[in-house]
């Protein structure tokens, strides 16, 4: 075997969006961004290979597609095959620094950049339900689904220092559904966030994230906003200094745009983006206040 090489099989998250790969208890805000909820990979079933060196690491996986947690091999939403690759370059610090987004006071400077690519094709395995585990991401207006292809790509960067942190990511998707009456769609997302300790146990943070939807996702004449912007402001209190064991968070989340129609056609939306505390409404502003206490065992 090679030092630094590893493999994983079974059910896991494909090595795609970094925000999704950071465990929920180690997020900067109370939960991941709405943009991450739109594009994230969720859990898949398959096999992954990886290699970690001093300054770089890489991953590659073969799976049954994005968001296929707990599915049968021939279930609805299964892709015929999904291929994902991710590479990261670390220019300062240790890899362990990037298991969370927080950087304690008196921490050394650390930083890394990453990029990932995912392709899947679907339509020949089980009932055809669409990419993203069966959510009809590419098929606005109820058009029939005959299979197709999905591509997701992303670049991200994380920089941390003495009590402060900044992270940013860009993600794009391209869907090419087969069959009559459907067209290709290209969507994009951006997340920028940062935090700073103002006391030994108090961290302030802010986040802007946005999703830019292809206009062909909406029915002709629809008045829904295609560009969706979200703001988050909040504070974390770490009961035990320099530890995530017990953390209390309070934050304000602000959706700046009309999200009703958009939430109806995006993956994971259902009646709204409850994970992000937004229900979706036809006004240009929706505000939520969220408090949370997390305890790790």
Q: What is the pLDDT of residue 218?
A: 73
User: Splitting the chain (297 residues) into consecutive groups of 10 residues, what average pLDDT does each group show?
Assistant: 86 96 96 91 94 97 89 76 97 97 97 97 69 47 64 98 98 84 86 98 98 81 81 98 97 88 53 61 84 93
Give CA–CA dist 120/149, Å, rounded: 6
Q: What is the pLDDT of residue 140?
A: 42
Domain extent for 192:
5-295
Strand pairing class (56-63; 164-177): unpaired
Q: Who's near 96: CB < 8 A, 6+ residues apart?
A: none
What count of residues does the chain have? Answer: 297
| Domain of residue 235, CATH code | 2.40.160.10
Q: What is the pLDDT of residue 132?
A: 56
End-to-end Cα distance, the chain: 34
Give CA–CA dist 151/188, Å, rounded: 12
Q: Find the DSSP H helices in the chain.
A: 18-21, 34-39, 260-265
Q: What is the pLDDT of residue 75?
A: 72
Q: Read off the tokens for 167.
A: 């992270």
The dihedrals phi and psi of 176, each to the nearest 5 degrees, come to -125, 85
Reduced to 3 states (helix: H, G, I; strand: E, B; else coil), residue 208 is: strand
Give CA–CA dist 130/147, Å, rounded: 7
DSSP 222-243: ----SEEEEEEEEEEEESSTT-
102 CB neighbour count, 10 Å cutoff: 23
Q: Domains in the chain: how many in total? A: 1
Q: What is the pLDDT of residue 272?
A: 47
273 CB neighbour count, 10 Å cutoff: 23
């Amino acid at each position: 075997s090679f030092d630094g090489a590893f493999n994983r099989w079974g059910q896991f998250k494909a090595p795609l969006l970094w925000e999704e790969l950071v465990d929920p208890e180690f997020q900067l805000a109370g939960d991941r961004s709405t943009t991450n909820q739109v594009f994230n990979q969720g859990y898949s079933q398959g096999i992954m290979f990886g290699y970690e060196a001093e300054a770089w690491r890489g991953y590659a996986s073969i799976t049954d597609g994005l968001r296929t947690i707990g599915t049968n091999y021939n279930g609805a939403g299964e892709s015929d095959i999904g291929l994902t690759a991710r590479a990261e370059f670390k220019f300062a610090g240790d890899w362990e620094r990037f298991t969370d987004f927080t950087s304690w006071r008196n921490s050394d400077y650390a930083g890394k950049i990453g990029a990932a690519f995912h392709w899947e094709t679907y339509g020949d395995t089980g009932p055809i339900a669409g990419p993203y585990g069966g959510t009809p991401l590419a098929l606005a207006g109820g058009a029939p689904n005959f299979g197709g292809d999905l591509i997701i790509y992303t670049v991200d960067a994380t920089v941390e220092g003495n009590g402060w942190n900044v992270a940013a990511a860009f993600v794009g998707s391209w869907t090419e559904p087969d069959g009559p009456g459907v067209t290709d769609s290209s969507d994009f997302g951006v997340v920028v966030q940062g935090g700073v300790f103002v006391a030994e146990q108090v961290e302030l943070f802010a986040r802007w994230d946005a999703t830019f939807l292809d206009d062909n996702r909406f029915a002709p004449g629809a008045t829904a906003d295609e560009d969706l912007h979200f703001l988050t402001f909040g504070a974390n209190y770490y009961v035990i200094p320099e530890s995530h064991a017990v953390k209390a968070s309070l934050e304000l989340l602000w959706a700046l745009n009309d999200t009703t129609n958009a939430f109806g056609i995006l993956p994971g939306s259902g009646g709204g983006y409850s994970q992000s505390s937004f229900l979706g409404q036809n006004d240009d502003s929706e505000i939520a206040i969220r408090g949370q206490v997390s305890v790790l065992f």
